[in-house]
Structures are given as C-alpha cells and as structure tokens.
Structure 1
C-alpha cells in the first residue's frame, strides 16, 4: 500500500511514497503529496485506509464535467477536520494545508451536493457493521440542543429559546441506538421541537425503511405521537422524568442522544454556531461525526479466542 506521509524505510535513507488519493492518481494535484503529520486531527494511515474506499467519486471522474482537484484529497480532509475540531477561522487554517479558499471551496461543494452526508452515511454503515449491527437502524432517539449564535448569524435564522434562555439556533437530531447520527436539522432557537420533529422524522423514515421505533422526552408528546404512527408507521415512545426524581438521573435511551450532543461540544467549531447558513451548520455536525467514526473504524479490534 502506498502512503501519503514521508516514512523511514529500514536500512535505507528517508523516502517519500506517492499519495494514492484520486487527485494524485488521476488529477493534476500540485502539492505532490509531501506533508508531515503534525496535528492530532490528521488521519492516521489506518484511518485513511478505511476512509479512501468510502469517498464519493468526483463528477469529473464519472464523465460529468469539471476539472480534477488541484490539491490532495487527504490533505483537504485533514484541513476540514482541523477546522471543525479546533474551531479556527477559515482564513486561519495552517499554511501547511492547501490554501484556505480551496479548502472552503471543497467544503462548500460537498455541502451543496450532499456529498458530506453521503460520506458520513457510508461511515455510519461501516461502524454499525463493525459493531455487529445491521447497516440500517430500526430504532433511534430524537432530541434538540440550543446553542448561542455568533454575530455573523442573521436574524432570519436565529431566535430566542425561552426555556434555555439562549439567543441563537437549535440543532434537532436523530441518532441510532449506538449514538450515531441519522439526521440533523438546524433552525432558529425559537422553533418548537414538535414542529421540527415532524419534518425530521419524515426525512429519517424515508431514508431508513427498517426504522420503526424512536424514543423522545416529554416535549414531543401530543399530536406528534399520533401523526408518527398514522403517517410514518413509526412508534414514538415518550420517556418521561418522574415527578419524584431529584438531581441528575440517567433516563433510559435518552442518555444516548445526550452523549451525542456532548460529543459535538468537544468540537470547538460547534460550541457556538459560527455559520452564516443553516446548511453549513448542519454540514459541520456531519463533519464532527466523521472524526468520531474514522477513529472507531481504525481502532484495533480485540482478537477472538
């Protein structure tokens, strides 16, 4: 297998093997694939080996026009991972990555054409298979998270969440029972959970035909339960907190989606909403989850006796 980074061969001088990404194999990549691996967010060789077969095929390679990318795919993926995990600005991406405007153009193209979700979903299926699960989920958990919005977020996509006292946006998410993302929708923070859930549940039900059960908290009670069953053939099970509970209590199934939101908060780009558009905000969530899943796929598996 060829590698991207410079390696030291035993008994010989330092040698750099060619990068095997599509941009270098078939394109006109001008960066020659020579780059050290200085950041914790850079993909290891094991991660790259798992990721490479799952990458969407560029349009130019399928005869749909356009030009080959001028920079290494692996380097661009590492640059976006760096930005999401460290919360830097696009223009502040370190100079050893491809130019920031080319990285952003790649991010925008994957966002607008649904390629980041396609890539994310392929990773999720692989992680589920590795865990011994069916690639398609049959159950999930839904919840929302309100986050403060940066000044660049316009008034047309921000609002005030009176319950959480947050001026910003709200992330509505559905995860499977492993805590892996099935779908996310970003709205103004004043949008009701049930109204957003009706749209989000329909999207997930259309994409996952085995899906039959979803757990939710008390905010999703009411007509949404009947609507889900009648229209989507989906059982919406409400997990309520008992009136006599005091302090922090781990509730069945709901902890799964809370753990998912806790993971998002570890990506500094997501601790506040810095995106001008909700589509970019959603894409950032998908990118954050790709970091989690590539590391799981590259993790050594315990040997069976």
Structure 2
C-alpha cells in the first residue's frame, strides 16, 4: 500500500468512508470485465491532489503509480455517471444523522459565484457577467443549513440567476421531493417566487441586505452558502475554471466538498468555533 505523502491524500479513516460508496468494479459484475490494474485509493488520492493543488492532469506526481490518463478517465467517468454526486449525498446524510437531523434537508440556501475562466475553458462554460465584469462560468450552489452542498450547477456567467434558478429548483424538486423552503438573495426575486410556489410547491424566501449597508455584511441564512463558497475556493483548482465541460467543473467543486466532509466525519479538524470559518460546518 502506498504511503501517505501529501495533505490531500486520504487517511485510513477517510478511505473507509469513501471506498464503500464507489461503484463495483466491472470484473465483479455479471457483465464482467478486466480487473482494474491500479488501486482505487491511489486514483482517488491523485484526483484530490489535482483539486487541492490546482495542477494539470499531466503533472500528477509519479509516486502515485497511476498514469494521468487513467486518473482522468476515472474522474470523467465518475462525474458522467453521477458517482461523485452520490458520494457527496451519502456523506452529507451521514453528517446530518450524526447531529440528529433528518438525512435529507427540508430547507436550503441558494447563491451563485462567478469566476474567471482560463483559455482552456470552452464556450459551454464561459460567458460575460456584466454585473461582475468577469468572463467565465457561474456556479450555482444549493446547500443545507449546515453549509453542505445539496446540488452544484455550472452555467455560463452570462446566464442570470433568475434564469438559472428555474432549472436549479426544478432539478432539486425532482431529486429532493422533501424540500419545503429555500432562502436566496434579491437576484432570485420577482416572478421566481410565485413560480416556485405555483409549479414546485416550494417557498422561495428572499433575504435582503440591511438598507444602506456597505462592504461585507453577515446576512441571516445567506451567510451559510457564502461560507461554503469560501471553502471550495481554498481548493486551488476551483479558483479559476479550466474545464471544457460544465460537468467537470461541477465535479471539481464536489470533490473539494467531499474532502471537507470526510475530514469532518473523521474529526481530523477542530470545530469552526475553534479555528475559523474555513473549516467544516456545523448545524442543520
């Protein structure tokens, strides 16, 4: 077994959480297939190394013992088949259960973030955000009241929050029928509120900043998702978007939150009150 060398590598406790959530190897299914040549833990560690350090796929250290093409192949396949999102949802449910909450949230918080795109990003992910004056993708996040992501969606930045909200909320309603309430800022106000109530049976509550406030202000409910955005930006691959496919951008964001959740579950880090806002969240 490869020795743990980098901060992004999984510990034994983290791997014990992730391994059962990965799909069964093809060689163990009825359809059959060739046995996998490389250990999955090395592949997961290499993916986490790319996300945490923001390197190119070709620059994966050789000591992982896995060709970069193999690592990228598993990354793309797991993103395409929904494996990464499933791992995220299972870990979130376990975190909520440990705090005596229901496995699935009934209330969420919405927000978006626009980041700059590198020259490798395609037109499918980039667009010009006139409000932020940024050319790149826009990330739409829905988190529970503890800050754990429920859904991540990446669109071109030219698409407004109101337009993206309909797709995001529709997908949330289909995958999480237990949802009853969502909090968001004024970018989601207007016809979206009545549309969500009429067509999705979902209460969309708008939380505004205090009048005449300047700079950063801690806004009730909304601060939770803003804190989550700050967490995922600590993974250097997420500071700027390099992807040609939106689902790959979503996968990088999700892998960053998976690392946070596994570390929280294994109690490797202190609670937020002891260290600051960059650690894993507590709450509903």
**TM-score, length basis structure 2:** 0.91
Q: Which residue number corresponds to residue 200 of structure 1? A: 168
Q: Which residue of 2 aligns with 1:78?
A: 45
Query: 1:215 corresponds to which residue?
Result: 183
Q: Does the C-alpha gap of structure 1 residues 58 and 232 become closer, same or farther in structure 2, counting only changes over 3 Å?
A: farther
Q: Choose 1 or 2 for highest CA Rg.
A: 1
Does the CA-based 8 Å contact 2:115-2:138 persist in structure 1?
yes
Q: What residue in structure 2 maps to residue 261 of structure 1?
A: 229
Residues 245-284 of structure 1: matches in 2 within 5 Å?
245-284=213-252
Distance 2:31 2:206 in 1: 47
CA 1:56/1:129 → structure 2, altered by over 3 Å: closer, same or farther? Answer: farther
The alignment covers a number of residue pairs equal to 269
Question: Residue 170 of structure 1: SS of its match in structure 2?
Answer: strand
Match of 2:91 in 1: 123
CA distance in 1, matches of 2:105, 2:27: 33
Match of residue 286, structure 1, among 238, 243, 254: 254
Q: Which has the higher contact order (CA 8 A, sep 6+)?
A: 2
Q: 1:56–1:118: 8 Å Cα contact kept in structure 2?
A: no
Which stretches in structure 1 are left out of the alignment for 5+ residues? 1-33
Deviations 1:186-213 (A, max 9, x none): 1111101011111011111111122100
1:216, CA displacement in angstroms?
0.3
The answer to whether the 8 Å contact 1:56/1:119 transfers is no
Shift of 1:301: 11
Q: Matched residues in 1 for 2:37 and 2:245: separation?
A: 27
Change over 3 Å in CA distance of 1:176–1:245 after alignment to 2:
same
**Partner SS, residue 140 of structure 1:** strand
Contact 2:124/2:244 (CA < 8 Å) preserved in 1? no
CA distance in 1, matches of 2:228, 2:177: 23
- Compared with structure 1, are the counterparts of its residues 160 and 300 closer, same or farther at alpha carbon in structure 2 (3 Å cutoff)? closer
Which region of structure 1 is more displaced relative to structure 2, 115-124 or 76-85? 115-124
CA RMSD of aligned residues (A): 1.6
Aligned residue for 2:254, secondary structure, equals helix
In 1: Cα distance, 2:127 partner to 2:112 partner: 14
Contact (CA 8 Å) 1:83, 1:90: kept in 2 or not?
Answer: yes
C-alpha distance in 2 between matches for 1:58 and 1:196? 36
- Structure 2: gaps spanning 5 or more residues: 271-284
Evaluate the alpha carbon distance shift between residue 158 and residue 246 of structure 1 in structure 2; reply closer, same or farther with a 3 A threshold.
closer
Aligned to 1:50, which of 7, 17, 22? Answer: 17
2:146 is equivalent to residue 187 of structure 1 = no
Q: 1:163-178 to 2 correspondence within 5 Å?
A: 163-178=131-146
Q: CA deviation at 1:156?
A: 4.1
Distance 1:157 1:291 in 2: 24
CA contact (8 A) 2:117 2:136 kept: yes
Rounded to whole Å, the distance in 1 between the matches of 2:100 and 2:23 is: 25
How far 1:252 moved relative to its partner?
Answer: 0.3
Matches of 2:266 and 2:31, distance apart in 1: 33
Q: Which residue number corresponds to residue 17 of structure 1?
A: none
TM-score normalised by the chain length of structure 1: 0.85
